[in-house]
Copies of this chain bind each other. A is one copy, B any other.
Amino acid sequence: MARLNWGLIGGGEGSQIGPAHRLGAAVDGAFAFAAGALDHNAEAGRAFGRKLGLAADRSYGNWHEMLEGERARPDRIDLVTVATPNATHFEITKAFLEAGFHVLCEKPMTITVEEGEEIVRLSRATGRICAVNYGYTGYALVRHMRAMVARGDLGRIRLVVAEFAHGHHADAGDADNPRVRWRYDPAQAGVSAQFADCGIHALHMASFVTGQEVTRLSADTVSCIPSRVLEDDAMVNFRMDGGAVGRLWTSSVAIGRQHGLTLQVFGETGGLRWAQEQPNQLYWMPLRGRLQVIERGEAGLSPEADRASRVTMGHAEGMPLAFANIYRDLAEAILAQKEGRAANPAADLYPRAEDGLRSMAAIYAVAESGKAEGRWVDARPPMFR
């Protein structure tokens, strides 16, 4: 396996997202960690990069330096991950795509829909990959759900019911803690809080699994803690372009729920249920049949699920390996492009710039509908209408 060079922007010492990306990129040995601009403090970033084993000349002080340094090298990085504060995603992603790099951008890809459209156009024009890190789609059984829907096991999809509920922002006494407060402040977080932070994962997953895109939605957004401007709880009803009806509940005040990302899909001939907290089991009931437990790693699953499983059945696999599956998909996509061949279809599953754009449009639609007493609004970005 030819190894690819990988670079990381952001993810400085003490961050949570940095180790997750480094682990995800390292697991399969497809990527060598070759370059980084890890901290907004240039010196701290350079020092941390060297500590992690980067060569001194590839441990950069900021992303501009990194862009200049890498574009000039014959062994330049094959993929750059953008894990910086949200407001900078657009600018950095744009610059690296323009310079011919493949990019994996943390969500949200941009702050506005217009920026999202620009990234999509740029990615298409340059032929460079722009992936967005909806990492939960990397779970083997989420991919198996998608495969089951695609091959028709459920018949026409009638209904998608998604949840992403936790209680980690339920403490009113902690609401002024800066670590929490910024999320509910439009000046810092934009037009949406809990939906943009968590709900969007569930909405993307609804599309990922059904193969349908969201067209219209109606949202009921509330701030259960009154001092908050943005919502800490939202219910979103939606419609998809293949005819599916959707319901999505997201909350950050649901005390007792830890990380309730759950997806149920109901079709004409069967129903599926999957929950992120126990990701190695998938509940499947065929019409007129009995509830069955599909185990990650069992024999006879779809190629998509087989490829995304690494350890034998009965041994839990968790979020870090779901993440790693996104990286493995990207390695395959990059290699296929280098080698002028089609990528393995079972690996061609990473979320695209188009998904990042659609998510931005959905977030704005939720905010708009939420302010208008739940009026149904178009959830599509203008370029896809």
A residues with CB within 8 A of B? 1, 3, 16, 19-20, 22-23, 26-27, 29, 51-53, 158-159, 161, 165-167, 170-172, 218, 220, 222, 224, 233, 235, 237, 245, 247, 249, 251, 253-259, 264, 266-268, 270-273, 276-280, 283-288, 290-295, 298, 310-321, 373-376
Q: How far is the CA of A51 from the CA of B171 in the complex (A)?
A: 52
Q: Is the CB of B16 within 8 A of A29?
A: no
15 further A-B contacts with Cβ under 8 Å, apart from A277-B316, A318-B321, are A159-B224, A167-B285, A218-B220, A224-B266, A233-B245, A235-B235, A235-B237, A255-B266, A256-B291, A258-B295, A258-B314, A259-B315, A278-B278, A290-B295, A316-B319
Q: Which residues of B contact A218 (CB under 8 A)?
A: 220, 373-374
Q: How far is the CA of A167 from the CA of B237 in the complex (A)?
A: 20
Q: How far is the CA of A278 from the CA of B172 in the complex (A)?
A: 32
Q: Is the CB of A161 within 8 A of B254?
A: yes
Q: Is the CB of A290 within 8 A of B293?
A: yes
Q: Which residues of B contact A266 (CB under 8 A)?
A: 167, 170, 224, 251, 253-256
Q: Which residues of B contact A23 (CB under 8 A)?
A: 27, 310
Q: Is the CB of A315 within 8 A of B314?
A: no
Complex partner residue of A233 from B159, B249, B286, CB under 8 angstroms: B159
- 9 A-B residue contacts at CB 8 Å? A22-B29, A254-B271, A278-B278, A278-B316, A290-B293, A311-B318, A311-B320, A315-B319, A374-B376
Q: How far is the CA of A286 from the CA of B167 in the complex (A)?
A: 11
Chain B: CB-nearest residue to A3: B53
Q: Is the CB of A158 within 8 A of B253?
A: yes
Q: Is the CB of A290 within 8 A of B294?
A: yes
Q: How far is the CA of A93 from the CA of B307 in the complex (A)?
A: 34
Q: Is the CB of A320 within 8 A of B317?
A: yes
CB distance from A4 to the nearest CB of B (A): 12
Q: How far is the CA of A317 from the CA of B319 in the complex (A)?
A: 6
Q: Is the CB of B271 within 8 A of A256?
A: yes
Chain B: CB-nearest residue to A294: B290
Q: Across chains A and B, which 8 residue pairs bring their CB atoms closest together, nearest first?
A: A259-B314, A255-B271, A256-B285, A316-B318, A256-B271, A315-B319, A258-B314, A158-B224
CB distance from A282 to the nearest CB of B (A): 11
CB distance from A177 to the nearest CB of B (A): 13
Q: How far is the CA of A163 from the CA of B308 in the complex (A)?
A: 29
Q: Is the CB of B235 within 8 A of A256?
A: no
Q: Which residues of B contact A19 (CB under 8 A)?
A: 310
Q: How far is the CA of A42 from the CA of B317 in the complex (A)?
A: 33
Q: Which residues of B contact A52 (CB under 8 A)?
A: 1, 29
Q: Which residues of B contact A316 (CB under 8 A)?
A: 276-280, 316-319
Q: Which residues of B contact A237 (CB under 8 A)?
A: 220, 235, 374
Known: A319-B317, A320-B321. A171 touches B291 (CB 8 A): no
Q: How far is the CA of A319 from the CA of B314 in the complex (A)?
A: 10
